[in-house]
Amino acid sequence: MSSSNTLHRLFPIFLSVVLASLWLQATHADGTEIAEIAERECGTCHGDKGVSETPSIPSIGGFSESAILDLLTTYEHNFRKARSIQLDDGTETDMVEVIETFSQSELEAIALYYSQQTWTPIEQDYDRKLAAEGARLHKVKCNKCHINGGSVQESDHALMAGQWREYLEGEFRNFDDGSRRMSSKMQQKYETLNAEGKQAIIEFYISAGEF
Ligand code: HEC
Ligand code: HEC
């Protein structure tokens, strides 16, 4: 066997090793870059790694990729209104304006980044007795979609176990006055709740199941 023959046979292997390492470098660079973009562009409001420090802004770190992408389309479709938020530099912006500055593939990469973060329930005061009642109601009416009290990434919905009270109460109000649309299947269940039932479920979500 001549050495040039051996080289010929080895070349494809050599090439694939080179390509694989280039690919790894490229994806690594992209991953780091996306993390930086997400922390800079979304983290100003949603906090480091998607753990919000602002009671009116939801945590999103640990939501599934498809939950985040679905939720983003609800702004595009006008199913919910974005609230204007004042940034540290005094300028105001909202979710709709923010989303518009990104391509779909960038949003997918950012959603993937947040899905790789750990959901971190925020410790807050809550009414223990109401939370227990809320747990019962949630189990019957909401748990089919918002699995395990809204704590499971694989449910592919917004997580709610340990979400900020101010944000959650605001979303319940928006569902109540129709400024946020909900799916007809959720509506069927939601509309069977009275005001006290809703408050009980909110206490349950805020307790993160720890009541
Ligand atoms: C100016 C502040 C601000 C910035 C920047 C921002 N968001 Fe938001 N985001 C909000 C607020 C406030 C809400 C709550 C809904 C509302 O009232 O607009 C929200 C809601 C969301 C939701 C829905 C969460 C839920 O539980 O329904 C997702 C997902 C989200 N943002 C993702 C992102 C991503 C990804 C970025 C970066 C590309 C981003 N946000 C940048 C303020 C911001
Ligand atoms: C058939 C499935 C289903 C059921 C049952 C359901 N939901 Fe939902 N829920 C959804 C979907 C889908 C969304 C995302 C809505 C959107 O696209 O804006 C959602 C979103 C929410 C949100 C907003 C969370 C956020 O941060 O954006 C709240 C609050 C909520 N649901 C409460 C409830 C409550 C309370 C019940 C029980 C009474 C319930 N849901 C039952 C499917 C369901």
Q: Can you give the residue ranges of every domain in the chain? A: 1-47+60-119, 128-207
What are the tens digits of pLDDT across the range 13-33? 666 665 555 554 545 557 789
Q: How far is the CA of 18 from the centre of ligand 1 (A)?
A: 40
Ligand 2 touching residue 74 (CB < 6 A):
yes
Distance CA 115, CA 105 (A): 15
Distance CA 112, CA 110 (A): 5
- 128-207: what fold? Cytochrome Bc1 Complex; Chain D, domain 2 (1.10.760)
Taking alpha carbons only, the member of 56, 33, 38 closest to residue 48 is 38
Q: How far is the CA of 146 from the centre of ligand 2 (A)?
A: 7
* Average pLDDT value over all residues in the chain: 91
Q: State the closest ligand 2 atom to the C-alpha of 144, by its place in the atom list counted from 1.
A: 5
What are the tens digits of pLDDT across the range 98-147? 999 999 999 999 999 999 999 999 999 999 999 999 999 999 999 999 99
Please, where are the H alpha helices in the chain? Answer: 3-41, 43-46, 65-76, 95-100, 104-115, 128-141, 147-150, 165-176, 184-190, 195-207
- What pLDDT was estimated at residue 11? 67
- What pLDDT was estimated at residue 9? 73
- What pLDDT was estimated at residue 1? 47
DSSP state of 86: E
Phi-psi bin for 148: left (phi > 0), alpha (psi -120 to 50), beta?
A: left
